[in-house]
Structure 1
């Protein structure tokens, strides 16, 4: 979470865009910025997970058999040109990327909104979310800072024992995809869709110091995680 916030801050400060894919060292629950911390206690499976509050909105994600992505875009053109909102735009990229390996998805349209669970994001259906076989498998949330945009999202690859009510792409489509493969496919499609050149990068020493500082001050702090 702190690393993604650094990407957002640097997008605002330096004008550099970034796209990051990652997994989690252990199954973890992330709460949306506005969710009450106590909401995770409604389910014994969720209550037993390590957890963190995101800087982005939306509902809770169980980060287990999934791919998490973070897209950070500076303000202004060409990054935010006033066209289709990035929530839907990046979902179209994900759908096109996975269609290349035979996975068929479609977006939730107006009138299909549902809230099937009080806590879990993948049981909240909102326009633009991606469905496979009528079940949600991709959702995203956003935060802005000085005109720059951070978009967080999750791509659900398979069912987790911590959220058995959520089927993933493996159960819904038969596609047994690895996280690294999905990240590569989406990055390639993103470059093709935007015409932007993606360059591999690593954290600098200053960035690592900044990430550690934000982690200590915010995401590892009880005051932040239990602020609601």
Structure 2
């Protein structure tokens, strides 16, 4: 099975587990461009909270061919001007790739196409779910979330936007703190397997947080440079 078929098969079982019928909004997230993702030097999976279930549910949350089509229609420059979740993630991902592989130039939009993203809460979303509700989702859907991360996406980096906390319900004590910038706006962790680090987890403010994105990108770059020069570096 290719990566898209694996995603669809997982979502089919997930729907049944959740008791979500065909009319229930269910986020079909995962890889934006499966081939680009598989061939990327560093696989990045962005971890988000949820997609609101309302009249705007599909706006800003397009996947696969739909995302590529929207870029071709509106242009990458217009896309990056928007302050939506995906445009902000594109800039963050480009900083990560350009810092880890400075010999290559990574365009934000192309960088985003090479990555994947997953919402913790894939169904019955609201404008803002409580932390407890999202914790319950992480616990209830733990095995499905873990399957999506481990067996399908298998990312080298998990990029979190105030979602690292929820990964704790999936991985327990296997998340080890490494470093943070002086202002504590960007934090790095390692995900351990059998006591050995296997993945990097980056925690930042949620993309919709009212803060200076340029400042966050600067802090992200600084803490990654420090990490790259440390003995903890995985790449």
TM range (shorter): under 0.3
- With structure 1 as the length reference, what TM-score do the two structures score? 0.27
Higher strand share: 1
Higher helix share: 2
